[in-house]
DNA sequence: GTGAAAGCGCTAACAC
DNA sequence: GTGTTAGCGCTTTCAC
């Protein structure tokens, strides 16, 4: 094998491969060349078995979340993770956590199949994974709701702030009769964005009574919009907790013969196809999804390496002005 | 360990775990109970090393394709794959194939890190993986273009037929001055869908001269539409090679003051958010993306198991009539 | 700094 | 049908 060609022992080859500091330059060169020549690639399983590391990171997506898979948000976060991991020696394993048998996923993670996990969470019950964090390095994408979440590693956007910014933008542009289409109130982003809307509206002394929740989907947004309209309360400003819902809301407004931004100004969150290609294009608060993915991966890799990393990383959001206000 | 508790040898435990046929019912029961009691989970790396199987399947996404990640198509296919694999013992590993260093991915696959691979392809150069197929079980999602593709395992939709169906629908509804917004002509779906449009139009004795290509994105669709309009040729029927491009085309038509379907009838491909929520909702040919993913996974698993599977599987498409014709 | 030897936890012949 | 015996291909003490 390589050792023979390089004229050293297998141990030395191993040292070179793992870039141990205690190897002569000569040995490094010889081994490197031998590796090159033989096209040698170390066997993962053997390394894993001997070193008791798997060099594998799990990306856990709760099944209910997987249904939201069409959400560009996930695709983009995943892309960020995969890209960040690509130059490292870690491999990404996709795990769709079955709701029917949550233990299966937990066992898999517990069993030492991976060195760490990224949990892309959306729902309250993702908390169940928080306990795992005592056994295994885990980083959450999006704050998990619940009590034990306090000491979890999290990469998130400041949803309260994002919503506040979007709402304030409406207020700053003279809108005074506000409404919001909130997200599901059992998901952190849903809760936080409603909070942000309330903060801004209250801060301006406005009524915060006109609230309807949707499920983050276009259809849910349309339905919520119709419920708001059927209240018979005239509104002139609307904050929608996601661009997908906003696109549905636009449909409902159009049905009702209301113009945007003429009759109702709209701001939302997410800079995706939905906000970019809506009619009119939507003023929105962008969350850097791909960066969030990269940060998740980076945080986890450092965590596994035993480095000290901060528990909560907030990636910055940006207001993008378009034509819906 | 388990063997002791069950009162058998480690071999027997192994046999039970791998559901070998040559074990007594008694032994199975005893071992199963012992496993349960001890919460034993076999170590993947060790199994892998000893059995020379990795129980891992790679999902390879070319980097240029990854940019299209926001495309609901991919999310949905991936979901289908992951869901299909979930109850099996296989694990899915996500590989973003770097364009800068394509060898890296190839080496990874060659090195025996996986038992097989699914290549989600979009581009001509994915062909480079076709050679790998001699070494490793590989299934392509979407026909890879190129010469060597002949003997590859492929799960695809019949894009020619889908386009033909969509175009014929326009013709059957009395449209005679047709145009098409084609996809990129270096991708199989782009090529095939243009072919299908030509087939149908020629079959009806219509002109096939009005063709503009886009990049499958809404923006690309809008630009292509504007180019068509600027030709000054009056059209009354348009087939767009993807719903995303169609949504862009709608924007351009609206700008030009043309009504759909009044002035121009439109059909497209993909039953996704874009076709469902366009104004008006688009008549489209649906490709069963999630099923395609599941079929990809199933095909690969069988291939790895040494079963005989057909080289090309075509998943069925369905015409969905909506309001754009 | 380097080699020798001892496993990592499992599967797979091989005898029984 | 079951136990025994060898490894799978690496990393890692431990001497040197």
Q: B180-239: per-residue pLDDT in tens?
A: 999 999 888 999 999 999 999 999 999 999 999 999 888 899 999 999 999 999 999 999
Reading the block at residue A116, the tokens are: 């760490």
Work out the angle at residue A157's Cα, subtended by the Cα atoms of residues A151 and A160, and round it to the nearest 5 degrees: 95
Reading the block at residue B29, the tokens are: 């029961």
Residue B291 has pLDDT above 70, yes or no: yes
Confidence at B41, pLDDT banded by 50, 70, 90: confident
Phi and psi dihedrals of B94, rounded to 5? -90, 125
Q: Mean pLDDT throughout A71-100?
A: 85
| Crossing angle of helices B188-203 and B159-172, rounded to 10° | 40
Listed range (A144-148, A160-164, B94-98) with the worst mean pLDDT: A144-148
Q: E strands, A124-223, where?
A: 138-141, 153-157, 178-182, 211-213
* Residue A51 at interface with chain B, using a CB cutoff of 8 Å: no
Q: List the 101-160 stretch of B: residues with Cβ below 8 A of A.
A: 107-108, 110-113
Nucleotide C9's nearest residue (CA vs C1') is B46
Half-sphere exposure of B244 (CA within 13 A, CB side): 17
Strand C bases with any atom < 7 A from protein Cβ: 1-5, 7-13
DSSP class of B144:
P
Q: How many other C-beta atoms can be found within 10 angstroms of the C-beta atom of residue B105? A: 25
Q: Among A113-117, A199-203, B8-12, B139-143, which range has the highest average pLDDT?
A: A199-203
Residue B322 has pLDDT above 70, yes or no: yes
CA B252 to chain centre: 29
Chain A residue numbers with beta carbons less than 8 Å from the beta carbon of B70 are: 72, 75-76, 272-273
Q: Mean pLDDT throughout B40-48?
A: 90
pLDDT computed for residue B39 by the predictor: 85
Whether B169 contacts B259, CB under 8 Å: no
Check whether residue B66 has its CB closer than 7 Å to nucleic acid strand C: no
Q: Strand A312-315 to strand A153-157: parallel, antiparallel, or no bridges (unpaired)?
A: parallel
Task: Taking the CA atoms of A114, A115, A121 and A125 in sequence, report the sign of the dihedral they define.
Answer: positive
Minimum distance, in Å, between the CA of residue B286 and any CA atom of chain A: 15
- Burial label for A314, CB within 10 Å (0-12, 13-18, 19+), is middle
Q: Which residue has the higher pLDDT, A111 or A276?
A: A276
Give per-residue pLDDT as tens, B150-161: 688 999 999 999
What does the alpha-carbon distance between residue A109 and residue A91 come to, in Å, rounded to a whole number?
Answer: 15
Residues linked to residue A93 through DSSP beta bridges, in sequence order: A58, B93
Residue B178 has pLDDT above 70, yes or no: yes
B19-26: Cβ within 8 A, 24+ apart:
none
Q: Mean pLDDT throughout B155-177?
A: 97
DSSP class of A146:
S
Give per-residue pLDDT as tens, A151-167: 889 999 999 999 999 99
Q: Mean pLDDT throughout A295-301?
A: 97
The partner residue sitting opposite A76, judged by closest CB among B54, B69, B108, is B69
Residue A261 has pLDDT above 60, yes or no: yes
Percent of chain B with pLDDT over 90: 60
| Crossing angle of helices A289-304 and A72-85, rounded to 10° | 40
Residue A64 has pLDDT above 70, yes or no: no
Inter-chain CB proximity B69 and A79 less than 8 Å = yes
- Burial label for B104, CB within 10 Å (0-12, 13-18, 19+), is middle
B interface test, pick of A39, A68, A94 with most B CB neighbours within 10 Å: A94
What does the alpha-carbon distance between residue B235 and residue B178 come to, in Å, rounded to a whole number?
Answer: 6
Whether A127 contacts A102, CB under 8 Å: no
Half-sphere exposure of A241 (CA within 13 A, CB side): 31
Give per-residue pLDDT as tens, B226-279: 999 999 999 999 999 999 899 999 989 998 999 999 999 999 999 987 898 788
Distances (CA, A) of B246 to B219, B280, B282: 10, 11, 8
What does the alpha-carbon distance between residue A143 and residue A303 come to, in Å, rounded to a whole number?
Answer: 18
pLDDT computed for residue B70 by the predictor: 62
Q: Mean pLDDT throughout B303-307?
A: 92
pLDDT computed for residue B109 by the predictor: 87
Q: Mean pLDDT throughout A13-17?
A: 91
Name which of B82, B74, B84, B66 is nearest B126 in CA terms.
B66
Strand C interface, A 86-125, C-beta < 7 A? none
Residue with tokens 């709608």: B250
Whether B325 contacts B170, CB under 8 Å: yes
Average pLDDT, chain A: 89
DSSP line for A153-175: EEEEE-HHHHHHHHHHHHHHTT-
Residues linked to residue B91 through DSSP beta bridges, in sequence order: B56
pLDDT computed for residue B219 by the predictor: 85
As a rounded value in angstroms, the CA-to-C1' distance for A300 and D8 is 31
Listed range (A251-255, B13-17, B22-26, B147-151) with the worst mean pLDDT: B147-151
Nucleotide C11's nearest residue (CA vs C1') is B50
Confidence at B115, pLDDT banded by 50, 70, 90: very high
Q: Which residues of B158-177 are buried (b: 16+ CB within 10 A; e: fewer)?
A: bbbbbbbbbbbbbbeeebee
Whose CB is within 7 A of strand D?
Answer: A 1, 10-11, 13-15, 17-18, 40, 42-43, 46-47, 49-52; B 7-12, 15, 22-24, 26-27, 46, 49-50, 52
Q: Which residue has the higher pLDDT, A73 or B253?
A: B253
DSSP line for A300-315: HHHHHTT----SEEEE
Residue B325 has pLDDT above 90, yes or no: yes
The partner residue sitting opposite A218, judged by closest CB among B66, B98, B273, is B273
B interface test, pick of A52, A273, A278, A323 with most B CB neighbours within 10 Å: A273
Nucleotide C13's nearest residue (CA vs C1') is B11
Q: Which residue has the higher pLDDT, A276 or A323?
A: A323
Residue A268 has pLDDT above 80, yes or no: yes
Q: E strands, chain B, where?
A: 56-62, 91-97, 116-120, 138-141, 153-157, 178-182, 211-213, 237-240, 265-269, 283-286, 312-315, 318-320
Q: Mean pLDDT throughout B31-46?
A: 90
Residue A147 has pLDDT above 80, yes or no: no
Reading the block at residue A152, the tokens are: 């979890």
C1' nearest to CA of B20: which nucleotide?
D1
As a rounded value in angstroms, the CA-to-C1' distance for B50 and C12 is 8
Residue A237 has pLDDT above 90, yes or no: yes
A69-72: Cβ within 8 A, 24+ apart:
A69/B75, A69/B76, A69/B78, A69/B79, A70/B72, A70/B75, A70/B76, A70/B272, A70/B273, A71/A216, A71/A244, A71/B75, A72/A270, A72/A272, A72/A273, A72/A274, A72/A289, A72/B70, A72/B72
Check whether residue A8 has its CB closer than 7 Å to nucleic acid strand C: yes
Confidence at A61, pLDDT banded by 50, 70, 90: confident
Work out the angle at residue B154's Cα, subtended by the Cα atoms of residues B148 and B155, and round it to the nearest 5 degrees: 160
Confidence at B149, pLDDT banded by 50, 70, 90: low
Confidence at A69, pLDDT banded by 50, 70, 90: low
Whether B92 contacts B86, CB under 8 Å: no
State which residue of chain A sits closest to B40, comparing Cα positions: A111
Residues linked to residue A286 through DSSP beta bridges, in sequence order: A318
pLDDT computed for residue B124 by the predictor: 55
* Residue B242 at interface with chain A, using a CB cutoff of 8 Å: no
Whether A41 contacts A2, CB under 8 Å: no
The partner residue sitting opposite A45, judged by closest CB among B49, B70, B94, is B49
Residue A264 has pLDDT above 90, yes or no: yes
Q: List the 68-97 stretch of B: residues with Cβ below 8 A of A.
A: 69-72, 74-76, 78-79, 82-83, 86, 91-96
What does the alpha-carbon distance between residue B37 and residue B42 come to, in Å, rounded to a whole number?
Answer: 14
């Amino acid at each position: 094998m390589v050792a023979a060609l390089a004229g050293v022992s297998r141990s030395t080859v191993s040292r070179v491969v793992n870039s141990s500091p205690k190897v002569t330059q000569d040995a490094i060169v010889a081994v490197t060349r031998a590796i090159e020549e033989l096209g040698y690639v170390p066997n993962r399983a053997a390394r894993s078995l001997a070193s008791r590391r798997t060099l594998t990171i799990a990306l856990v997506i709760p099944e209910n979340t997987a249904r939201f898979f069409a959400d560009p948000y996930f695709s983009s976060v995943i892309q960020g993770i995969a890209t960040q991991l690509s130059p490292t020696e870690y491999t990404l394993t996709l795990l769709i956590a079955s709701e029917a048998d949550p233990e299966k996923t937990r066992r898999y993670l517990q069993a030492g199949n991976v060195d760490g996990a990224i949990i892309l969470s959306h729902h309250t019950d993702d908390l169940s994974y928080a306990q795992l964090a005592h056994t295994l390095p885990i980083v959450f994408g999006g704050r998990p709701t619940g009590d034990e979440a306090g000491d979890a590693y999290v990469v998130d956007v400041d949803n309260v702030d994002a919503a506040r910014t979007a709402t304030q933008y409406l207020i700053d542009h003279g809108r005074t009769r506000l409404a919001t289409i909130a997200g599901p109130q059992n998901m952190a982003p849903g809760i936080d964005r409603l909070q942000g809307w309330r903060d801004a509206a209250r801060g301006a002394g406005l009524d915060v009574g006109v609230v309807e929740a949707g499920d983050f989907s276009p259809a849910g947004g349309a339905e919520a919009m119709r419920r708001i309209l059927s209240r018979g309360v005239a509104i002139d400003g609307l904050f929608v907790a996601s661009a997908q819902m906003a696109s549905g809301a636009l449909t409902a407004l159009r049905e009702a013969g209301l113009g945007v931004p003429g009759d109702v100004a709209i701001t939302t969150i997410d800079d995706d196809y939905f906000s970019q290609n809506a009619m009119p294009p939507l003023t929105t608060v962008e969350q850097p999804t791909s960066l969030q993915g990269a940060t998740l991966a980076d945080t986890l890799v450092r965590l596994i390496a035993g480095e000290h990393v901060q528990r909560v990383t907030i990636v910055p959001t940006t207001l993008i002005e378009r034509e819906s206000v």
